[in-house]
Amino acid sequence: MRMSSGRYRGFQSFVDAGRGIRTVFRTEWNFRIHFGIFALIIAAGFGFGISFGEWLAIVLSAGLVLMAEVFNTALEYLADAVHPESDRGVGMAKDAAAGGVLIAAVAAALVGAIVFLPRLWMWLTSL
């Protein structure tokens, strides 16, 4: 992270954020899984022709899952850097962050089920 002023600083913040996303994508298996599911859901959304409101629900819920995964990873990196040896409190913080990802993923799965299950049922029963 560089400290400067003006437009360069604003642009640099996007560069830094992109590097962070690339790092998480390269190092975190769960992030790649969530991202892959998001890509499949986008394809399904186009395939089933979901409405604008359904797109909003899908994109927001998937974005929250990816964001939660990035925050979880950031907390893990920071905790490991500050306290590299095993510590009960650090372990509890990591577990809580992972629990946050799980909550977001379950909520997103429910949104996906609400949007896609009726369409999938209609498609299957029309075969």
Active site residue 69: yes
Q: Which of 54, 69, 76, 85 is catalytic?
A: 69
Contact 71, 31 (CB under 8 A): no
**Could you list the active site residues?**
69
